[in-house]
Amino acid sequence: MPVVSISPDLLLQMLGRNLTDEELLQFLGELGCDVEGIDAQTGALRINLLPARPDLFDFCGLARSLKGYLGIETGPLEYQFSDSGIKVIVQPGLETVREFISAVVVRGLKFDKQLVGMIMDLQENLHWGLGRDRRRASIGIYDLNTVIPDFNYQPVSPDGTRFVPLGDTVARTPAEILKTHPKGQAYQHLLKNCSVYPLLTDALGQVLSMPPIINSEQTRVTEKTTDVFIDVTGPEPWAVKKTLAVIAAVFSDLGARVETVTVEYPDHRRNRTPEMTPETMLLDPVEVERVIGIKLSPAEITEILKKMRYGAVTLADGKVEVQVPAYRSDVLHTRDLIEDVAIGYGYHNLTPQIMPTVTPSQPLPLEEKCDLCRRVMTGLGFIEIMSLTLSSPEAQFERLGIQDDRLTVVLENPISVEQRILRRHLLSGIMETFSINATQPLPQKLFEIGDVFQLLLETDEIAKQAWQLQSTPKARALRRLSLGIADSRAGFAEVRAVIEALARELDWSLQFSPDDRPPFIAGRSAVIINASGENVGVCGEVHPEVLMRFGLLVPVVLAEVEIGKLFGVLDALSPLR
């Protein structure tokens, strides 16, 4: 996680109370902040940013929370802003790009070097946290005295205009900015495949920014700036609204005059932003007791929530009505409120209790056998990898030249094209790792132990057993061990020697029978047969065409065996549904 450096002096100035370094670190830790400590050289407070709490990314938010926790100022802050009279008009054409925008006007601050640095840090930290690296929300901050309201948020073609991007001296088109400007190169993927780009301009057509990429140089905030215009854009309204609420709260806490902006959409919707109205939630003390394990009265819960800067009122039925501040983007469920009740009560005040029931456990026989395999493989000089269970037909079949036997488990709603199926073997994971490490020293020896999956047939013995139990299995998991060697002298004899060494250590009785199958070279592969005459694996030298598809220039040998069959442990009696 990113680390933010905050001045303890500024924090204590906002807090209005003197604390020693030890007390400050203690209270921040009790609030749930991940504090690294105070830098011995700079004297700055170093805190790991928690993406769930963007309202604690700066000293204003930390002071706001500490005031409540320490009882200096409890309950919610009232954020009521006057209307600036400024409008942002959203033009048609941005529906599939970044349709949503919120804005605010901030007046009356002296933007000295320290404040400018703090605001820029907050902007980038919010881009990382709520904005998910600008994908969900991006922020623009402009010197209001350099522009003429009202503003237009509109689509522009890649070559539709020219402006000087921030930090540059040459006017460029949007397309040129994406190709040549450092910020354009870093974030061009956010506008990939878009026929038009978002553009924010003033009443005279002067460009303020091209969200989410770059501001214009002319609107740069300097130490002479006193009034700023701030916008947040994104493809979804929630992240945009919450991001602006955090920003507005910070500037209000700094003593600035914050004013709202009206946003007009093509469908005649009118939003007054920022939206600072608290959200109402109901909290049941019974649920609090069930989750935390301590009995608190509604009045006690109400007071604790006020310490955590919520509005809270005890109702006649014993429940607590909670007003959640607009800047709290992390409160989505009553469990989030209960977590804050626990923090406000103090985790250090909770009395540890022994669990009323104890459930003894022991590893499954198959897992014990797998651990034994791992010890043997590492003893033979191999490094273990862990590849993803979800894969794609291209990775599992096409790149290796293997035919799909139609027993593959296909996902109905995959998250991406690279994760559409459950893997059928572990070989592709070994090959992809070799490909990634193609420039590393040789030899490379890798192994993986994991599950592969296949659909069940009605004739399958596992399926028959499952149906007898009145279940409806669709697929099963098979535990396998796969290994690979990449080396200029790797050959069939070497991979067979490894399998034989593994068998000797684990007391397996194996035989090798010549076989021709992808992804191996014809005549340089074999099936592995156990003492019962069952096929339990394959091994061989990888075909040169397969090596080319993975960008490998050295020979590779692979092997894969079914651990369950070799140990006589049933690893597929728990079918997937």
Are 151 and 215 in the same domain? yes
**Residue at which a domain ends, from 273, 297, 321:** 273
Strand partners, 231: 103, 140
Residue 412 has a pLDDT of: 85
Are 207 and 337 in the same domain? no
**For the segment 326-364, what is each residue's pLDDT rounded down to a tens digit?**
999 999 999 999 999 999 999 999 988 777 777 888 888
Residue 202 has a pLDDT of: 97
Are 505 and 538 in the same domain? yes
CATH classification at residue 263:
3.50.40.10
**For the segment 494-529, what is each residue's pLDDT rounded down to a tens digit?**
999 999 999 999 999 999 999 999 999 999 999 999
Are 133 and 147 in the same domain? yes
Are 87 and 173 in the same domain? yes
Residue 575 has a pLDDT of: 46
- Give me 20's structure tokens: 């020693």
Annotated binding site for Mg(2+): 330, 336, 339-340
**Residue at which a domain ends, from 290, 318, 347:** 347
Are 28 and 124 in the same domain? no
CA-CA distance, 522 to 207, in Å (whole number)?
A: 65
Are 283 and 269 in the same domain? no
For residue 356, being part of any structural domain is answered with no
Find out whether 419 and 390 touch, Cβ atoms under 8 Å: yes
For residue 76, being part of any structural domain is answered with no
- Rg, the chain, Cα only: 31
Annotated binding site: 330, 336, 339-340
Nearest to 476 by CA among 563, 397, 409: 409
**Residue at which a domain ends, from 213, 243, 273:** 273
| pTM, two decimal places | 0.67
Handedness of CA 123, 329, 252, 32 (dihedral sign): negative
Number of domains comprising the chain: 4
What does the DSSP assignment read for 392-454? Answer: -HIIIIITTTPPP-S---B-SS-SSTTSSEE-S-SHHHHHHHHHHTTTS-S-EEEEEEEEEEE
Helix (H, G, I), strand (E, B) or coil at 169: coil
Are 117 and 36 in the same domain? no
For residue 433, being part of any structural domain is answered with yes
For residue 343, being part of any structural domain is answered with yes
CATH classification at residue 478:
3.30.930.10
CATH classification at residue 302:
3.30.56.10
For residue 387, being part of any structural domain is answered with yes
CA-CA distance, 442 to 177, in Å (whole number)?
A: 42
For residue 426, being part of any structural domain is answered with yes
Residue 570 has a pLDDT of: 57
Q: One-letter amino acid identity for 366?
A: L
For residue 357, being part of any structural domain is answered with no
Are 405 and 551 in the same domain? yes
**Residue 50 belongs to what domain range?**
3-69
* Residue numbers of the chain with a pLDDT score lower than 70: 1, 457-473, 570-577
Peptide bond preceding 555 in cis form (omega within 30 of 0): no
Are 38 and 125 in the same domain? no
Q: One-letter amino acid identity for 480?
A: R
For residue 358, being part of any structural domain is answered with no
Are 174 and 229 in the same domain? yes
Residue 456 has a pLDDT of: 80
Are 331 and 374 in the same domain? no
